[in-house]
Amino acid sequence: MVKKILITGASSGIGRALAHELAGRGYALALAARRAEALETVRNEILAKHPSAPVVTQPLDVTAYDTVPGVVGACAEALEGLDIVFANAGIGLGDKVGRGRFDDARRTIETNLLGAMATVDAAVAYFLEQGHGHVVGTSSVMANRGMPRSGSYCASKAGFAIYLESLRAEAYRRNIQVTVLYPGYIDTPLNDMLKRRPFLISAEKGAAMMAGMIERQVKASTVPVWPWRILGLMLRWLPTRVIARF
């Protein structure tokens, strides 16, 4: 049976790469993002490689919280159901605290945390009515520790991971699976301005790893697993004098 997935933030980065990867695996795709033209470009790219792939697009700004349930419903109707919702839309704005950039911090929290929560809430409401489903969310290895110049981003990703853990407990025995992914440095526009990106992998490689994790319905994993499983834990225990140098 063909699996049907909704991917938010599908116009670029991880979302775009995962859409290509899953199309190659025979999935039916609903792609959502703010930029409708960019979404259509992704759809056309996929259809050029996989002409028979079911691909629908929906413009979505996840910070327009009241519109999210309608978009989830429209995608489910277009594909005649949804098996997976991947809450992936995110931004990476940030600066040191107290530098007059609070608007960027606010936008980061609104998108990465509140927008992601709105997406998951709408997905779970649909899955509860349907009787089954799989929620996948993008956190980050930076959820393990507050890093300089990235306080709002780290907070948003840590908060979303905890939210998904709470959902897993609530959905226990409700036939709803929950997967939390913690990417390390994956080559996307979100981080390509950084001078240092240790253990960088391509978006395509990251997407292939994520697709496998989604198919196995893993509860949580770093992407890639190594070395970030160990490094993520190490971040929690490094002294502040070391973190301050980052």
Active site residue 185: no
Which member of 27, 126, 153, 185 is catalytic?
153
Tokens of 139: 């956190």
HEC string of the chain equals CCCEEEEECCCCHHHHHHHHHHHHCCCEEEEEECCHHHHHHHHHHHHHHCCCCCEEEEECCCCCHHHHHHHHHHHHHHHCCCCEEEECCCCCCCCCCCCCCHHHHHHHHHHHHHHHHHHHHHHHHHHHHHCCEEEEEECCHHHHCCCCCCHHHHHHHHHHHHHHHHHHHHCCCCCEEEEEEEECCEECCCCCCCCCCCCCEEHHHHHHHHHHHHHHCCCEEEECCCCHHHHHHHHHHCCHHHHCCC
Active centre residues (catalytic): 153
